[in-house]
A and B are shown apart, each in its own frame.
Chain A
Amino acid sequence: GNSVTQMEGPVTLSEEAFLTINCTYTATGYPSLFWYVQYPGEGLQLLLKATKADDKGSNKGFEATYRKETTSFHLEKGSVQVSDSAVYFCALSDRNTNAGKSTFGDGTTLTVKP
C-alpha cells in the first residue's frame, strides 16, 4: 500500500534560519505529491504540489522537488519567519486510486522563535 514518512518533530528554529523537513514515500503507482500546512486553529491548506518526477513545487518561499529515484519530496525554505510556525504534512495521491484520495504523513510541528 501507500505510505508517507516524515521527519519527526518538533522542529524549533530561529528566525531567518534554513528549514528542511524530510519526506519519503512508498506508492504502488505514480503519485502526485503535496505539502499541506495547518496553522493553529485552522484547517489544512495546500502549500505546494508536484505531479511528476523532477517537478519543483513552490509557494511563499517554500520549495520541494519530486525525486522519483529517492522517492522523496523534502520541504525547504531559505529563511523562515515566525509566521511560518505551523504543522506541515507531506501527502501523496495515487492516480490509480479513486479520484486521488490522499495518504498523509504524521506531520512535523515547526516553531520559529524571534
Chain B
Amino acid sequence: GAGVSQSPRYKVAKRGQDVALRCDPISGHVSLFWYQQALGQGPEFLTYFQNEAQLDKSGLPSDRFFAERPEGSVSTLKIQRTQQEDSAVYLCASKDSSGIYEQYFGPGTRLTVT
C-alpha cells in the first residue's frame, strides 16, 4: 500500500519567506509526528498529533513554527519568516493505534533557506 508521502521534496526559500510543508500519512493512521533533521544529526521531535488534536508541541523551536491537522489526516507544517538555521530535512511519520511505537517515515522535505 501507499506509504507516507511528503511534498515538496525540496524547497528553497529566501530568508524571511513563509513556507508550508505537507504530509500525507498512511490511510487510517491515528498518530502523526513531525521531526527536524539537521545535517549529520538524527531526527529531533517537533510535534505530535492524535487524529486532529495536537497533543505535544514541545519540540517546536520557536513561535514561527506552526503545525495543523484539521481533519485528522493530512498535516501541514508552516514556518513563518524563515531563518538560515531552519535549513534542515523535515520528516513526517505516522503510526496506527496497534503498533508498538513503530513509526513509518516519509521521504522528508529538504528545506534550504538562503
Question: With contacts A89-B42, A91-B42 known, is A44 near B105, CB below 8 A?
Answer: yes
- A107/B42 in contact, CB under 8 A: yes
- B105/A101 in contact, CB under 8 A: no
A22 at the interface (CB under 8 A from B): no
Q: How many A-B residue contacts, CB cutoff 8 Å?
A: 67
Residues of A within 8 A of B (CB): 4, 32, 34, 36, 42-46, 49, 51, 89, 91, 93, 95, 97-107
Report the contact-size class of chain B (Cβ under 8 Å from the partner).
20 to 34
- A104/B105 in contact, CB under 8 A: no
Chain B: minimal CB distance from A110 (Å): 15
Complex Cα distance, B85 from A10, in Å, reads 25
Q: Which residues of chain B come closer than 8 Å to A97, judged between CB atoms?
A: 56
- A45/B44 in contact, CB under 8 A: no
- B45/A43 in contact, CB under 8 A: no
Chain B residue at smallest Cβ distance from A46: B102
Complex Cα distance, B93 from A34, in Å, reads 15
Complex Cα distance, B33 from A9, in Å, reads 27
- B42/A101 in contact, CB under 8 A: no
Complex Cα distance, B80 from A74, in Å, reads 40
Q: Which residues of B (1-32) have their CB < 8 Å from a CB of A?
A: 4, 31
- A43/B101 in contact, CB under 8 A: no
- B45/A101 in contact, CB under 8 A: yes
* Among all A-B residue pairs, the 5 with the closest Cβ atoms: A100-B101, A104-B42, A93-B101, A44-B105, A43-B107
Q: Which residues of chain A come closer than 8 Å to B106, judged between CB atoms?
A: 43
Question: With contacts A99-B31, A99-B50 known, is A44 near B102, CB below 8 A?
Answer: no
Chain A: minimal CB distance from B71 (Å): 19
